[in-house]
Amino acid sequence: MAAVISLSPVFTTNAFADVNTDIQQKDAKLNDLKSKKADLQADLSSLVTKLESAQAKSKELQASFNKSAEQLKKLNADIAAINARIKEREGVLKERARSMQVNSNSNVYLDVVLSADNFGDLVDRVSAVNTIVDSDKAILDEQQKDEDALKSKSASVKKEQEKQQKAIASYEEQQNKIEAQKAEKEAVVAQLAAQQATTQQEKSTLIAQRDREAAAAAARAAAAKEATTVQPLAATETKTESSSNSSSNESSSTASSSNDSSSKSESTTTKKASSNTSNSTNNTIATPTGSGYDAMISTAYAQLGKPYSLGATGPGSFDCSGFTSYSFRAAGISLPRTSGAQYAASTKISSSQAKPGDLVFFSYGSGIAHVGIYIGGGKMINAQNDGVKIDSLSSGFWAQSLVGFGRVANF
């Protein structure tokens, strides 16, 4: 017995040393995970700043695009007005020219000349007629110059609009890349958080194990000490009863603690579920009458004319992927946030297989940068620089940027 008593502390000390070493390793791992999470969250903050900067620049460009569109509209109206005046004046001149030729077997020009009182009057009359003709011709020439100048300015504004449109597309493409990087880092942060939770749980398990072993060692030591003491039977029975009551109290205390912990856990879970339900409610859009394709396409058409804004998901304004996500959500279909992610999530199909309700994708040089909803007949409804509108896929800008079609729902 003395040998057992003398060896027990050695065994206990070794066991505690091993468990404490494991706990220290878990602490080191937790610190490493926290450090990595902090670095990733700093990167995420930087990406959010870049994203906001790209969106702000895109809005500036969109404002310039809208301004040039108004300018172009006015130029086109001016050109139409000048053309109308030219045609009207040309009509007057033609009529005058016909009148100055044979009219009812008389020559108006000769009548003007022959009715002169004298040579001086003749010169004045001829000069007057020529002056009228020259004046009319000068006015026509001036109007033609004005028309040419307006057409030249209109062409210049259109060229500037094309540059603005490409710049906006570039920033949308940049947004896709940043969103993709952001999603990757968020996924890693989630993984680190899971590892952190697992490591924390392992650490808690080790601490509980250490406490159990300490309690067991204390119990062994107490039992060994008691075994070396000779006691009367009555005293032994009294001590046993006391020990039993103490054990019962400890068991009751442990159960109470467990119940309290369970209650707190259930309360936390309930709060999280409530929070998630609230968030889900806030993100829900009104579903129009109908289901499937009808619900999706009626929602899409209801947005026609609404303005474009990079990063916007509706209902007041949209960017391209925000518009498609909003429309498909009406049919109960959840799409990824960006056009690049929507392309990755879709089943690629050929143009001959494309049908209304499929997505159509575009690239301006490096990666997917635009998405629209195919409505058949070589047309799509999409959110672009001019806002939500219907465009032909065969038009120059879209035809040269078309990548292909993708299916995300079998309507």
Q: Annotated catalytic sites, by residue?
A: 320, 370, 382
Number of domains in the chain: 2
> Which distant-in-sequence residues (6+ apart) come within 8 Å of 15 by Cβ?
213, 217
Q: 94: buried, middle or exposed (CB in 10 Å: 19+, 13-18, 0-12)?
A: exposed
Q: In what order do the strands lie in the sheet with 402-407?
A: 347-349, 402-407, 359-363, 368-376, 379-384, 387-392
**42 and 159 both lie in a single domain:** yes
User: In whole angstroms, what is the distance from residue 360 CA to residue 168 CA?
Assistant: 19
pLDDT at 335: 95
Instruction: Give the domain-ending residue among 200, 216, 243.
Output: 200
The full DSSP string for 177-194 is HHHHHHHHHHHHHHHHHH
The pLDDT tens digits for 355-377 are 999 999 998 877 888 999 999 99
Structural domain includes residue 78: yes
The domain that holds 361 is classified in CATH as: 3.90.1720.10
Structural domain includes residue 247: no
The domain that holds 192 is classified in CATH as: 1.10.287.1490
Instruction: Give the domain-ending residue among 182, 200, 218.
Output: 200
Of 66 and 279, the one with more pLDDT: 66
pLDDT at 313: 94
Identify the weakest region by mean pLDDT among 1-10, 11-20, 263-272.
263-272
User: In whole angstroms, what is the distance from residue 297 CA to residue 372 CA?
Assistant: 12
Structural domain includes residue 216: no
**42 and 149 both lie in a single domain:** yes
Helix axes 119-227, 2-99, angle to 10 degrees: 170
Q: Is the pLDDT of residue 332 over 90?
A: yes
Q: 222: buried, middle or exposed (CB in 10 Å: 19+, 13-18, 0-12)?
A: exposed
How far are the Cα atoms of 206, 238, 243, 272 from residue 221, in angstroms, in the given order? 22, 20, 15, 47
Structural domain includes residue 236: no
pLDDT at 224: 60
> Residue 5 carries which side chain, given as an amino acid letter?
I
Structural domain includes residue 280: no
Structural domain includes residue 221: no
Structural domain includes residue 34: yes
Q: Mean pLDDT across the stretch 92-97?
A: 67
On whether the pTM is more than 0.75, the answer is no
Identify the weakest region by mean pLDDT among 39-43, 50-54, 113-117, 240-244.
240-244
Of 40 and 297, the one with more pLDDT: 297
Structural domain includes residue 271: no
Local structure of residue 403 (DSSP, 8 states): E
**189 and 301 both lie in a single domain:** no
> Which distant-in-sequence residues (6+ apart) come within 8 Å of 107 by Cβ?
100, 101
Taking the alpha carbons at both ends of the chain, their separation in whole angstroms is 82
Percent of the chain at pLDDT > 90 equals 25
Residue 223 tokens read as 């039992």
pLDDT at 388: 97
User: In whole angstroms, what is the distance from residue 1 CA to residue 404 CA?
Assistant: 85
User: In whole angstroms, what is the distance from residue 204 CA to residue 108 CA?
Assistant: 116
User: In whole angstroms, what is the distance from residue 303 CA to residue 312 CA?
Assistant: 13
Domain range for 318 is: 292-407
**49 and 170 both lie in a single domain:** yes
**299 and 182 both lie in a single domain:** no
